[in-house]
Amino acid sequence: MSDREVVVCRTGTANLASVLAGLRRAGGAPRMAERPDEVRAASLVMLPGVGAFGAAMENLRASGMAAPLRERMAAGKPTLSICVGLQLLCRTSEESPGVAGLGLVDAAVTRFPDSVRAPQFGWNRIDAAEGCAALTSGHAYFANSYRLAETPAGWSAAIADHGGPFVAAMERGAVVACQFHPELSGAYGRSLLERWIARPC
């Protein structure tokens, strides 16, 4: 089967070289989105992110990508968000007070407690809840200071622990969001990308 096209949104804060290479290894044919209508029309869309919540949202709004991203995820179209990309689905973040996220999830992103190192750098165990289709249990690579503390209503999640449980990843139909970096998570991350790319659109 030929590689499937994945349209990748620019957030201005992502390590795109690693993301694009990870998608290619998993059978995707990634290309960067140049216009908002490409995000609306694409079969598969990825929202990557590294860095600050506020800077990523500013870039999405400036490029016109915020509205089509919100629309496609609300409609359940295949979309994968990673790292800060997961946090952008939320209403707000403590990292960037006063900046509104995409608002798909009515929750605030909060910083890890002072009792643990932040940022969290490295591998951590995640446990997927029953009913997850894309997500499985295993070990994944994280690089984050902020997290979504509770599973949102209507989503299935995989949970990790760093100063208490937090959402390592979550899914709702064809919309999947990972706080960890699948492109840096070895065979575990590659298998997740392969399942998401191969999912019927």
- The catalytic residue positions are 83, 181, 183
CB atoms within 10 A of CB 172: 17
CB-count exposure of residue 114 (10 Å: 0-12, 13-18, 19+) = exposed
φ, ψ of residue 38 to 5 degrees: the values are -70, -35
CA angle 154, 109, 43 (to 5 degrees): 55
How many Å apart are CA 8 and CA 21, to the nearest integer?
12
- Helix, strand, coil content of the chain in percent (nearest 5): 30, 30, 40
DSSP output for 80-128: EEETHHHHHTEEEETTSTT-----SEEEEEEEPPTTS-SSEEEEEEEEE
Cα atoms in the 13 Å half-sphere on the side-chain side of 97? 0
